[in-house]
Amino acid sequence: MLGVQNSLLVAFLVSLLGGVSTFTSASFFAVIGGLALGGIPLLSLMVVCGPALLIGDLVFYFFGKTTYDVLPVKTKRWLQKVEVWVQEGRNFPVQLGIVLYTGFSPFPGDILMMVLAIAKYPFRRMWLPLLFGNMMLVWSIGQAAIGGAKLF
């Protein structure tokens, strides 16, 4: 009943809101799985939902950038060690971790974005792995829904 264009709009909005709040991840998974079962091509869902999730994650990245001053001293010391480790040029492990965490973990990316922002990891180094990971998450959810439906 939704139609292809309307369902992609719904997917974009649910992804955008699902990327902003840690409490709407379950509804995001259900909507993406339902749309995949309804016949929406996974590639279309990936292209629409990946950038929307990225925009939602941006909110928490910028929120994390502004919270550094209110952290306890002990936490700041730990984050300074993380920052030194990141600044020494170990980008590939961090970027691989971003892809794996956002692409295959059911946990919200909000926590990851806040930690990376507080650790002063530059956004220009994380946006592409984050986008790819978000697109892989949509693919994973769609494949799980389609595979689960075939079992029954």
The pLDDT, as a whole number, for residue 140 is 93
**118-132 burial: b if 16+ Cβ within 10 Å, else e:** bbebeeeebeebbbb
Task: State the pLDDT at residue 45.
Answer: 92
The predicted pLDDT at position 132 comes to: 96
Rounded to two decimals, the pTM is: 0.82
Q: What CA–CA distances, in Å, run from 78 to 19, 39, 99, 135?
A: 27, 47, 23, 31
Please state, in angstroms and rounded to a whole number, the distance separating the CA atoms of residues 137 and 102: 7
Q: Would you write out the chain's pLDDT as a tens digit for each of its 152 residues?
A: 556 568 888 888 888 777 666 555 777 888 889 999 988 999 999 999 999 989 888 888 888 888 777 878 888 888 788 777 777 766 788 889 899 999 988 777 888 888 888 888 888 889 999 999 999 999 999 999 998 888 87
Report whether 57 contacts 110 (CB < 8 A).
Answer: yes
Q: What is the pLDDT at residue 20?
A: 63
The pLDDT value recorded for residue 78 is: 83
